[in-house]
Amino acid sequence: MGLLKDFRPSTHGLHFDNRWPVGTPNFVFPVPILGRVRIGDASDGLCGGMAFTVADLFLAGRRPPARTDAPAGGTPLFEYIAARLLASFSIPSGVLRYYYWANTPDHDTGVRPVVRPGLARKTIEDQIPHVVADLDRGRPATLGLVTVRSFNPGALGRCHQVLAYGYDRAGSAITFRVYDPNQHDDDNVTISVDAADLARGRPIASNVSCDPIRGFFRVDYSYTDPSAIAG
Q: What is the pLDDT of residue 117?
A: 84
The average pLDDT across 87-106 equals 90
pTM for this structure? 0.90
What whole-number distance in Å separates Cα of residue 63 and Cα of residue 61?
7
pLDDT digits (tens, 9 = 90+) for 61-85: 999 999 999 999 889 999 999 999 9
pLDDT digits (tens, 9 = 90+) for 98-150: 999 999 998 878 777 777 888 999 999 999 999 999 999 999 999 999 999 98
pLDDT digits (tens, 9 = 90+) for 145-180: 999 998 888 788 889 999 999 999 999 999 999 999
Q: 202 falls in which pLDDT band (50, 70, 90)?
A: low
Q: What is the pLDDT of residue 41?
A: 65
Of residues 4 and 16, the one with the higher pLDDT is 16
Q: What is the pLDDT of residue 129?
A: 96
Q: What is the pLDDT of residue 104?
A: 92
Write down the mean pLDDT value for the chain: 88
Q: What is the 3-state secondary structure (H, E, C) of the chain?
A: CEECCCCCHHHHCCCCCCCCCCCCCCEEEEECCCEEEEECCHHHCCHHHHHHHHHHHHHCCCCCCCCCCCCCCCCHHHHHHHHHHHHHHCCCHHHHHHHHHHCCCCCCEEECCEEECCHHHHHHHHHHHHHHHHHHCCCCEEEEEECCCCCCHHHHHHCEEEEEEEEEEECCEEEEEEECCCCCCCCCCEEEEEHHHCCCCCCEEECCCCCCCCEEEECCCCCCCCCCCCC
